[in-house]
């Protein structure tokens, strides 16, 4: 019995660290986002008023879904920001590796979200505003 108690005392603190679900997306950024525009990279500037489709992004703590005209165009796993990235940034990895992974950056002062390539230099950045309810 004493050995079991010692094992439990040693394992329980480790188990909490191993299974801890650290928040990866800032809490205020979780929710629905509407696309406003895309710019940079090799593509032309495009904004929501100049195209015949809509795009939105739904962020959860560890996953995200990107929609175009209410159809899923991409699903992501979200992990912690990379070393050297600014506060309120997070890494978005494609679940099916369609394209370059993304770096999400939440601007709390303006309640804006920017998605840029996490590794490709010729990809545009995408800008979103929070959907208010």
- How do the domains of the chain map onto residue ranges? 23-130
Mean pLDDT is lowest, of 13-17, 32-36, 116-120, for: 13-17
Kindly report, residue by residue over 27-79, the tens digit of the pLDDT. Answer: 999 999 999 999 988 878 899 999 999 999 999 999 999 999 999 999 999 98
Rounded distance between C-alpha atoms, residue 46 and residue 67, angstroms: 17
Predicted confidence at residue 100, as pLDDT, reads 86
Rounded distance between C-alpha atoms, residue 131 and residue 49, angstroms: 17
State yes or no: pLDDT of 1 exceeds 80. Answer: no
Q: Which numeric CATH code is attached to 23-130?
A: 2.40.128
Average pLDDT over residues 111-126: 89
Secondary element (H or E) of residue 63: strand 63-68
Residue with the bigger pLDDT between 130 and 23: it is 130
Residue with the bigger pLDDT between 51 and 3: it is 51
């Amino acid at each position: 019995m004493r050995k079991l108690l010692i094992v439990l005392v040693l394992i329980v603190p480790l188990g909490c660290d191993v299974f801890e679900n650290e928040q990866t997306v800032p809490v205020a950024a979780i929710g629905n986002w509407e696309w406003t525009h895309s710019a940079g990279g090799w593509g032309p500037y495009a904004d929501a008023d100049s195209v015949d489709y809509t795009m939105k992004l739904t962020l959860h703590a560890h996953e995200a879904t990107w929609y175009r005209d209410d159809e899923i165009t991409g699903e992501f796993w979200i992990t912690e920001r990379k070393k050297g990235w600014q506060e309120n940034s997070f890494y978005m990895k494609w679940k099916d590796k369609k394209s370059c992974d993304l770096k999400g950056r939440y601007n709390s002062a303006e309640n804006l979200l920017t998605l840029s390539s996490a590794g490709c230099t010729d990809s545009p950045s995408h800008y979103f505003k929070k959907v208010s309810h």
